[in-house]
Amino acid sequence: MMNLIHSNCINRSQISSSPVSIHGVPLPRRNKKKHSAVRVSNFAASSTEVVADNGRRSLTASVDSKSRALTSGMSSSALEQLDIERGVCIPFRKYSPETVRNKVLESRGAVASLILRGVEIVWKLGLYWSSLMYDCLVGRDKEVVPFRARQLRNLLCDLGPSFIKAGQVLANRPDIIREDYMNELCILQDDVPPFPSQVAFKIIEEELGQPLEALFSKISSRTIAAASLGQVYRATLCSSGEDVAIKVQRPQIEPIIYRDLFLFRTLASFLNGISIQKLGCNAELIVDEFGEKLLEELDYTLEARNIEDFLENFKGDPTVKIPLVYKNLSGSRVLVMEWIDGIRCTDPQAIKNAGIDVNGFLTVGVSAALRQLLEFGLFHGDPHPGNIFAMRDGRIAYVDFGNVAVLSQQNKQILIDAVVHAVNEDYSEMANDFTRLGFLASGTNVSPIIPALEAIWQNSAGKGLSDFNFRSVTGKFNKLVYNYPIRIPERFSLVIRSLLTQEGICFTLKPDFKFLEVAYPYVAKRLLTDPNPALRERLIQVLFKDGVFQWKRLENLIVLAKENVAKMSSNPALQVKNGPTSRSWQTVSKLDLTDTIKDGARLVLFDEGIRRQLLLALTEDSKLHVEELVDVYKLVEDDINIPAVAMEVVQDFPNVVRDFLLSWSNSVLSDR
């Protein structure tokens, strides 16, 4: 398998065995839980982006040879570009333009079908486009926007699953479509017409090779939920009496999707010039992103694997419920999972009647989402209210894992960088983070964007966490995206949608909920306690601003981190567990700063720059800052096990001596 991986890929084992350090100071390796969830390894690839033109607001970009290859329509280069900007590579993929072309041109009948489908699409979209042009000519284009938006939604439903899915994607792409149309297309995420149940039952029997009555003692006559690619039924297993959810794919959907993808990409090839000018990338790249994700969702064996990955990630976490998957009763078109008997998150009264603490449940939900995003790098891409449930014991449950996204280690670190730069109000670096994440083409002049970013952040966060919400920030960001050649990569459009959807659920349960009041404590705890050297580096960046140590910021981080631990440990889901899992989770009832203190001591010992900065911090303004030190100690004295710290220091002393001698010898050699 490894022979199939591109030459720029790095094996996970290579990453884990490489030395770790901060500012060149070696740090001891911790025994940390290894997560096997991400189907592709995390790679340290450069975030080179595709070419941006001098499109809007005098933004300029340099064009390298790879970008020129992309704009000439080289499909393989487009897919390689996606791998590079994601920081990952995929050893084998279901989608490629060549595969799609071969599928739809394999016979004369297929070609005839393609032509008829193309005529249908051009005719229906042409009529809609003509009506928009007519509105502009008579000057009523603004008046009829709600009607035209509804008309577009109905048209996409009429054109079939590929277009429904495209509409769902466009509902999260402010870089491509106007906000008023986005709001209408959001309806496609919940309201899709089902196909006949008799057809679904026939597909189940064909896929599993047995009659329904041989496998299920009963099955619902109507769908429980319908989506663009399939629909769900509730059933009971004959063998065990367990209730299960059966997800069935729409009939004859695969040839339709391959045909539509070929037509999408053919159309995109004519729109490359406009796309490069407006978005900073060619249109084929956007279609490739869409096609790759769509074909992944079409294969239910991949969704089964996603469920297993989430189960592995949240193994041992008593606050999160992931359904079991019955792989022996599943195939590429049918997926059988454990039935989740929970309460919909859009029913706050039912949640309260069940005795669930709303604040505790919301803390669990936000923490679970942030763990997926910043810790695992594998997150649920479609957490709408129908896919998230509250369990009666206080857990949060997720269903429907067809749409997941992967963030590389590099992407996760850049996201944390962006948070640090926002905290430090370093808008120039925030703009550079956009380029590193793939929102802007490599070489783009970011100076015109910096004032816009500053205005967005200060207007949204200037009054504190109590007035901050993602929806207001996203609305302002959508205008920024629409005015500059910014492209939102598919994986980050899913991140934005995921955060917005979950914030909306939080508002439903608690109208005065403040997302960042829960998110910030989680990030603070990660910065203070995570052994990842990259996060230690970010902690240093947060604590020093313009070379000055931020005592108040350190105190705030500790307070917020302790708040997160307190809220999590008070959740009922942690208290009802009596097995070995609960014992391991009792350790989070206090903020454990042991490793942070040890690594901090190493930095002071080995890094002359850090040592000088700390001495300046302690003697700033010609006074000894003993009072600040005492205040910090009072905050953490209950969370520090002095004997344990002393024991670990003694055990680690030989390593410290070795590292000190290595550091000293390196400095001597570098002076010569």
Tell me the catalytic residues: 382
Q: In what order do the strands lie in the sheet with 388-390?
A: 320-321, 396-398, 388-390, 343-344
Integer Cα distance of 279 and 438 in angstroms: 11
Integer Cα distance of 412 and 492 in angstroms: 11
Integer Cα distance of 368 and 388 in angstroms: 12
How many angstroms separate the Cα of 566 from the Cα of each of 250, 359, 559, 584, 590?
46, 12, 11, 16, 8
Q: In this structure, what DSSP letter does residue 373 have?
A: I
Integer Cα distance of 185 and 166 in angstroms: 10
Q: In this structure, what DSSP letter does residue 545 have?
A: E
Q: Are 573 and 364 spatial neighbours (Cβ–Cβ below 8 Å)?
A: yes
Q: What's at 272, amino acid-wise?
A: N
DSSP one-letter string for 409-467: HHHHHHHHHHHHHHHTT-HHHHHHHHHHHTSS-TT---TTHHHHHHHHHHHHHTT-GGG
How many angstroms separate the Cα of 52 from the Cα of each of 157, 295, 481?
33, 28, 14
Integer Cα distance of 555 and 561 in angstroms: 10
Q: Which two tokens stand for residue 668?
A: 């001597």
What is the chain's alpha carbon radius of gyration, rounded to the nearest angstrom? 27
Q: Which two tokens stand for residue 507?
A: 């508002």
Q: In this structure, what DSSP letter does residue 394 have?
A: S
Find tokens 């009529």 and name the residue: 127
Residue 258, SS3 per DSSP: helix
How many angstroms separate the Cα of 120 from the Cα of each of 102, 159, 263?
22, 9, 11
